[in-house]
Amino acid sequence: MILLTNYEGRSGVPRTVELLKNKTNAIYSIIEGIKLVEENPEIHTVGANSLPNLLGQLELDSAVMDGNTRRSGAVGAIKGFKHPIEIAYHIMTDIEHEILVGAGAERFAEEIGAEKYVNETEYTKTSWEEFLNDHLTYEQKEKFPHIRLLDIKDKPNDPEHLFDTTVYLAQDYSGRIATATSTAGWPWKYPGRLGDSPIIGAGSYADSRYGACACTHTGEMTIRAGTARSVVLYLKMGLSLADAVYESVMDLAELKTGFINAVTVHAIDNKGNYKVIALNPQKEIKYIVWHPDLKEPQVKNAEIMRT
């Protein structure tokens, strides 16, 4: 058994570890952990109380994948629901689709009885208003929101360096491997933007025969490189976990445009090994790991690769 998550997912770790110890399957265990992150007001990149898009709306993305069947469920750009991870799970189990977005995802969520929620908080509103005040001209402020949003789109950085996804990777007592992701996405993103979190093969991928991978930071880069799937394919080709992750990071490093700094690749294999590598981060990147040989989950620093 093993659990690997980035530091953003810390609030859900005790619950997931408890479930894995009690022989709960990996999918349910990581979903229950991520739900606690989604409702944690101290986390500003996932769920409620996060940083919004350019219109001040929280559009949430999430995905789950079962490594036994390779079925997945994902939701993108959904508004007004508390736990997008649960909605993603029901897409996997209740409908013959892999991903739903926007209004269609919201209709599906209503039909399964998902809990509605106002995710925008005073923090969300105040942070957004401060961003607009710093970036809009007087004329744009007078006309907002009836302006050209392309004129105020922001580069991938923000004053609090909040640019992350919550990712969980786990293997349970039976050997089932699963992944789950949840995020509010790029702060001040253009409305409708999807990052890698709901894109299976880019932001996450699980195959119980070999292993799993999930990525954080700028999803545009891992979409272009197909990073999560590539790690698992490298494992299938016979590479060690460390070499599989190194190869995937080098694939990313070959990209010549885009914001690649701090993209972080998290991976496990079917033998209980784990590897986390961050590409050119400006600060330390932390992650959390637990397996039965550890009394408590451990916080560690990702290996850094410079290019």
Per-residue pLDDT tens digits for 29-76: 999 999 999 999 999 999 999 999 999 999 999 999 999 999 999 999
State the chain's mean pLDDT as an integer: 94
- pLDDT mean over 176-182: 98
- pLDDT mean over 295-299: 94
CA 42, 47, 48, 53 torsion: positive or negative?
positive
Residues 6+ apart with CB under 8 A from 165: 6, 8, 45, 46, 181, 182, 183, 195, 196, 197, 203, 215, 216, 217, 219
Query: According to DSSP H, which parts of the chain are helical?
Result: 13-21, 26-38, 84-94, 102-111, 122-135, 138-143, 219-225, 227-236, 241-253
* DSSP type of residue 173: T
pLDDT at 155: 57
- pLDDT mean over 177-197: 94
Show the tokens assigned to 207.
């195959």
- pLDDT mean over 139-158: 81
- pLDDT mean over 124-153: 91
- pLDDT mean over 252-279: 92
Show the tokens assigned to 194.
């999807």
Q: Which residue has the higher pLDDT, 253 or 162?
A: 253
- Cβ of 232: how many Cβ atoms within 10 Å? 24
Tokens 């709306």 identify what position?
57
Rounded CA gap, 153 and 53, in Å? 10
Transcribe 259-299 into DSSP letters: --TT-EEEEEETTS-EEEEEES-SS--EEEEE-TT-SS-EE
What is the residue range of 132's domain? 2-305
Rounded CA gap, 180 and 52, in Å? 22
Tokens 């599989």 identify what position?
244
- pLDDT mean over 205-212: 98
Report the range of poorest mean pLDDT among 129-133, 149-153, 192-196, 281-285.
149-153
Q: Check if the beta carbon of residue 195 is closer than 8 Å to that of residue 60.
A: no
Distance of CA 46 to the CA centre of its chain: 8
Rounded CA gap, 71 and 66, in Å? 6
pLDDT at 158: 46
Number of domains into which the chain is organized: 1
Is the pLDDT at 157 greater than 80? The verdict is no
* DSSP type of residue 239: -
pLDDT at 160: 45
- Cβ of 252: how many Cβ atoms within 10 Å? 24
pLDDT at 154: 64
pLDDT at 26: 98
pLDDT at 163: 56
Look at residues 83, 70, 77, 109 and name the one whose alpha carbon lies nearest to residue 30. Answer: 83
- pLDDT mean over 187-197: 93
Per-residue pLDDT tens digits for 88-99: 999 999 999 999
